[in-house]
């Protein structure tokens, strides 16, 4: 008898504890909001590190109410597919290079590809941190996309299997480019043969000779091992690669306001971080490329540099019909760039 009542008491206690358990914890956390962040470069690059920093800060600032899944190195989608995936809502965040917005119908972004338009980082910041940059991001709205920030990578180098000292060294060479009409024109201007190709295919195409050369930042070269399949690289600094961090507008606008505020804060802090480390990452990559001994790294003399500038500047005028004369002028005005001074 004693035994039965003890068992009954413990069964009741057990049942009660099950019923009361949810009440004694603060609240059941709702399912976290998942942000899939897809990109095409390695984790160990300015953008790769930026994406991981955003994950860290977004999860921390929202106390876990948001979970960010980062898919690097084209593991989820390649260049073209990721844009479509964002618009369809299959991923929530991307950071495509500014050269990749033309196919979406926002040609103005290709202004960033004009050779020599930014004379260094300070000039660039006048655009990305100013009115012109903000207006440009706003152009994404009608495409169902919200622009959140600009992240830096850096200035580009050129490479091939022969040395590049003068523009004519690229004559007849097949050069891989990103999907930008301005980049296409840039290489046509010096009689090279531009070929648009997804970033994920660059290494193999160079290795197998589908293309002869390419251009990119050194961090992208190093992390994709592109320097291992190119015998010569020249530090031309002829153009810029940076990113627009973008999200699906409907998704973003549909977030609870308090969560969006925290994510805005996470994005702001991440942007400071990503833009702070970009140059350092590229400097480190250049050191590593030099140390590898796999490619010969050339610098241009002043005269050689001038020859490149002279050969490529006509692209600005020629691309007015593509990116808009007013867009180009707005950059000149913001940075003080004067093509007539060359």
- Name the residues that contact ligand LMR, by CB under 6 A: 40-41, 47, 97, 153, 178, 199, 216, 220, 241
**Nearest by Cα to 247 from 129, 132, 89, 72:** 89
Token code pair at residue 241:
């690669």
Minimal distance, residue 135 CB to ligand LMR, in Å: 23
Alpha-carbon distance of 230 to 228, in angstroms, equals 6
* Of 109 and 199, CB closest to ligand LMR: 199
Token code pair at residue 17:
């504890």
**Nearest by Cα to 174 from 153, 188, 155:** 188
Alpha-carbon distance of 231 to 261, in angstroms, equals 48
Alpha-carbon distance of 65 to 86, in angstroms, equals 21
* Of 127 and 226, CB closest to ligand LMR: 226
State the DSSP code for 53.
H
Cβ(338)–Cβ(309) below 8 Å: no
Q: How far is CA 156 from CA 12, 161, 253, in A?
A: 72, 17, 35
* Of 217 and 262, CB closest to ligand LMR: 217
* Of 166 and 277, CB closest to ligand LMR: 277
* Of 133 and 154, CB closest to ligand LMR: 154
Minimal distance, residue 16 CB to ligand LMR, in Å: 57
Token code pair at residue 168:
């004519």
Minimal distance, residue 295 CB to ligand LMR, in Å: 17
Minimal distance, residue 310 CB to ligand LMR, in Å: 25
* Of 282 and 327, CB closest to ligand LMR: 282
* Of 97 and 270, CB closest to ligand LMR: 97
Minimal distance, residue 19 CB to ligand LMR, in Å: 53
**Nearest by Cα to 235 from 212, 220, 216:** 216
Minimal distance, residue 77 CB to ligand LMR, in Å: 12
Cβ(181)–Cβ(100) below 8 Å: no
Minimal distance, residue 178 CB to ligand LMR, in Å: 5
Cβ(104)–Cβ(318) below 8 Å: no
Bridge partners (DSSP) of residue 299 are 235
Phi, psi dihedral angles at 65 (to 5 degrees): -70, -20
């Amino acid at each position: 008898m004693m035994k039965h009542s003890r068992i009954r008491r413990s069964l009741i206690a057990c049942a009660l504890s099950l019923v009361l358990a949810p009440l004694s914890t603060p609240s059941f956390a709702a399912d976290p909001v998942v942000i899939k962040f897809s990109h095409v470069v390695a984790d160990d690059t300015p953008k790769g590190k930026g994406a991981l920093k955003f994950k860290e800060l977004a999860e921390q600032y929202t106390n876990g109410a948001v979970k960010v899944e980062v898919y690097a190195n084209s593991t989820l989608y390649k260049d073209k597919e990721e844009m479509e995936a964002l618009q369809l809502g299959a991923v929530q965040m991307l950071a495509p290079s500014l050269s990749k917005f033309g196919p979406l119908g926002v040609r103005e972004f290709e202004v960033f590809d004009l050779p020599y338009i930014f004379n260094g980082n300070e000039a660039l910041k006048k655009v990305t941190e100013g009115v012109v940059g903000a207006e440009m991001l706003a152009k994404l709205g009608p495409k169902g996309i919200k622009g959140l920030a600009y992240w830096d990578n850096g200035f580009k180098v050129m490479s091939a299997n022969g040395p590049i000292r003068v523009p004519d060294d690229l004559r007849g060479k097949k050069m891989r480019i990103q999907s930008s009409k301005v980049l296409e024109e840039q290489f046509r201007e010096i009689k090279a043969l531009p070929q648009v190709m997804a970033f994920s295919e660059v290494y193999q195409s160079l290795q197998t000779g589908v293309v002869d050369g390419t251009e990119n930042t050194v961090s992208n070269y190093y992390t994709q091992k592109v320097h291992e399949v190119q015998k010569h690289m020249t530090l031309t600094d002829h153009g810029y690669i940076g990113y627009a961090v973008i999200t699906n507008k409907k998704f973003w606008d549909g977030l609870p306001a308090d969560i969006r505020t925290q994510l805005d804060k996470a994005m702001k802090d991440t942007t400071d971080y990503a833009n702070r480390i970009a140059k350092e990452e590229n400097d480190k990559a250049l050191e590593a490329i030099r140390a590898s001994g796999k490619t010969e790294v050339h610098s241009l003399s002043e005269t050689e540099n001038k020859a490149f500038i002279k050969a490529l500047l006509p692209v600005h005028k020629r691309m007015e019909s593509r990116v808009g004369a007013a867009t180009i002028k707005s950059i000149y005005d913001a940075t003080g760039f004067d093509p007539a001074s060359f």
